[in-house]
Amino acid sequence: MMPAKCSQFSHDDHLDLEDPGVETRLEALKQRLAAENTTLSLRWLLLPIFIVVLYLSTTPSWIQFTHLPFRRYHPITLSNLAPGASSSRQGLTVMSFNILAEIWGGDPRSFGKPNCADCQGEGCKPCDGRGTASGYSKPVRDRRLVKTILSNEFRPDIIMLQEAQLDTVEYIAQNAGYENAHFPSNGLDLWREWVHEEVAPMQHNGNAILIKKDSALKKVYHETIPVSIRDGYLVPNAKETHRLAVNVPVVVVEFGGKRVAIVNVHLEYGCRLSPLSIGWDHPGYRRRIQMHKIHKRLKEMMISQGEDRCDEVVIGGDFNDVSEFGTDHGGLKDIMTSEMRYINHVDVHGLQHLDTCANISRYSARLDHIFSTKGMESSMAYVPDEHYEHIWGWPFFGGVSNNWDRPFGSGAVNIYQMIDKYGSDHLPVVVKLHLKK
Ligand SMILES: [Zn+2]
């Protein structure tokens, strides 16, 4: 018999073959080794199970399996390729863009990191133009946002900004040539727990509507629709100035002899999995009651004879329309087209398969839309296609899209590629609208 290695056994375990008890002790040792081996192989067996459970519990992609037979896929159409090639007929170009407010962290790569010592965040050679060691600083990102807005694909007459903070809106208005037409702040206590004052102090923030200065558009009226929610109920008679107010700006412009109301929304965020909730009250439900209130007010405006009257409505923004359990198909956008009779102009042009937003957990979704009433039609809709090829296998390689209108596992959009290219974790959405003849 091979002598056992000393290192594996305590002093007592040394085998003395003359010892009459050696058989018993040898047997005990064998049993102990066998037990240890079992534990070891159990651990190896549990490891993949653990990884699978982690995967399923942290990504909403598993839900896609359950809906697989109902998935629709829309091929890329011409209208996604060249916005300039579409109708040259005089139109109203409207853009929606969630610009990732700095007060909630801005570029996650630079969050909490000091600005570059050489350029103080302005962007220089040593920091590779980023302004911080790893991500974009606010000045660099602000410039990128302006560049996006002024690029040939966009140059809108009207911009609807979400997650906008005052100094960014002022910068964009000044440097891209827009008038800040209406920008009511949300209550300064709303979403305050997301603000790290030491990184970026709280300021006036929310949804802004900007009008291009050299356009012929004339603002004739504006108002604010507060859609604040408390304990799952809309706050009755909600005040725009309440410290928890959620405010929706409305601007009425004169266009082609009609009065068109521009409405910029950023609805309640989340699904049941985050945060965990039970009962009837969940973020998707909150988005619906917010939208119903907005819709009710707009219907009043459309039959009003007063200064608030309007003929047509354009609603755009970040609808956060994910389902109760996490896919991008919350059904609100369907309610808006079926019950409320709006037109989803990005859908009209067959671009449902393009995600508009991604997060650091590497999944992406389509949250940004532009709707109008039926008196308007669109000659163009454009969303940049930032889906990349290598896919499959979140969290290992690319990312997962939770867009029902994409084939399963067909690739996400990436948050950092989007910030680098456009300045935000959302992509801009733009449509060119016309009054129906
Ligand atoms: Zn620098």
Q: Is residue 66 part of a domain?
A: no
Task: Count CB-CB contacts under 10 A for residue 381.
Answer: 25
Predicted local confidence at residue 57, as pLDDT: 47
> What pLDDT is recorded for position 179?
98
User: Are residues 52 and 110 located together in one domain of the fold?
Assistant: no
Confidence category of residue 272, pLDDT binned at 50, 70, 90? confident
CATH (domain of 233)? 3.60.10.10
pLDDT value for 395: 47
CA of 137 to the centre of ligand 1 (A): 10
Residue 163 Cα to ligand 1 midpoint, Å, equals 26
> Tell me, what amino acid is at 26?
L
Q: How far is the CA of 31 from the centre of ligand 1 (A)?
A: 64
Say how many Å lie between the CA of residue 13 and the centre of ligand 1: 64
Residue 16, domain member (yes or no): yes
Beta strand 363-365 with 357-358 is antiparallel
User: Ligand 1 centre from 119 Cα, in Å?
Assistant: 4
Q: Lowest-confidence range among 172-186, 197-211, 331-345?
A: 197-211
Kindly state whether residues 179 and 42 are assigned to the same domain: no
List pLDDT tens digits, range 380-420. 999 999 987 655 544 456 688 888 888 776 788 999 999 99
Whether residue 59 is predicted with pLDDT greater than 50 in this model: the reply is no
Determine the distance separating the centroid of ligand 1 and the alpha carbon of 152, expressed in angstroms.
29
Report the alpha-carbon distance of residue 285 to residue 272 in Å, rounded. Answer: 10
Reply yes or no on whether the pLDDT at 68 is more than 50.
no
CB 225 within 8 A of CB 293: yes
Is there a single domain that holds both residue 300 and residue 410? Answer: yes
Q: How confident is the model at residue 53 (pLDDT cuts 50, 70, 90)?
A: low
Q: Distance from the CA of 172 to the center of ligand 1, in angstroms? A: 22
- Burial label for 410, CB within 10 Å (0-12, 13-18, 19+), is middle
Q: Tell me, in angstroms, the distance from the centre of ligand 1 to residue 420's CA.
A: 16
Q: Quickly list DSSP for 188-253.
A: TTTTGGG--TTTS---SEEEEEEEETTSS-EEEEEEEEE--EETTEEPTT--TTSTT--EEEEEEE
Ligand 1 centroid – CA 37 distance (Å): 55
Residues 196 and 313 in one domain: yes
**Ligand 1 centre and the CA of 136: distance in Å?**
10
What integer pLDDT is reported at residue 20 of this predicted model?
Answer: 62
Structure tokens at 145: 């946002």
> What pLDDT, in 10s, does the model give residues 298-357?
999 999 999 999 999 999 999 999 988 888 888 999 999 999 999 999 999 999 999 999
pLDDT at 406: 85
Considering only residues 435 and 403, tell me which one the structure prediction assigns the higher pLDDT: 435
Percent share of the chain, pLDDT over 70: 84
Q: Which amino acid is at 351?
A: L
Distance of CA 398 to the CA centre of its chain: 17
What pLDDT is recorded for position 362? 83
At 65 the pLDDT is: 38
Q: State mean pLDDT over 215-238.
A: 94
Identify whether 413 is part of a domain.
yes
pLDDT of residue 14: 55
In a domain, 1, yes or no: no
- 178 C-alpha vs ligand 1 centroid, how far in Å? 29
In this structure, are 308 and 399 located in the same domain?
yes
User: How many angstroms separate the alpha carbon of residue 409 from the centre of ligand 1?
Assistant: 38
Same domain? 108 vs 170: yes
Ramachandran region, residue 239 (left: φ > 0; alpha: ψ -120 to 50; beta: rest):
beta
Report the DSSP pairing between strands 363-365 and 400-401. parallel
Q: Is 61 a member of any domain?
A: no
Q: pLDDT category, 76, cuts 50, 70, 90?
A: very low
Same domain membership, residue 164 and residue 25: no
In a domain, 65, yes or no: no
- Spacing, Cα 221 to ligand 1 middle (Å): 44
pLDDT in tens, 113-155: 899 999 999 999 999 999 999 999 999 999 999 999 999 999 9
Average pLDDT over residues 226-247: 92
Domain identity same for 36 and 117: no
Please check whether residues 226 and 348 belong to one and the same domain: yes
Is the pLDDT at 86 greater than 60, yes or no?
A: no
Final residue in a domain of this structure, among 16, 31, 56: 56
Q: Please tell me whether residues 172 and 303 are part of one structural domain.
A: yes
Distance of CA 132 from the midpoint of ligand 1 (Å): 7
Count of domains for the chain: 2
| pLDDT at residue number 67 | 36
Please state the rounded mean pLDDT for residues 75-82.
Answer: 43
State residue 55's pLDDT score: 54
- Distance, CA 129 to ligand 1 centroid (Å)? 6
Residue 115 CA, ligand 1 centroid: distance in Å = 7
Residues 82, 17, single domain; the answer is: no
64 part of a folded domain: no
Its domain, for residue 120, covers 72-435
The answer to whether position 67 is within a domain reads no
Mean pLDDT on 353-381: 94
Give pLDDT, residue 35.
82
Whether residue 23 is found in the same domain as residue 145: no
* Mean pLDDT of the chain, nearest integer: 86
CA 394 to chain centre: 18
328 close to 290: Cβ distance less than 8 angstroms = no
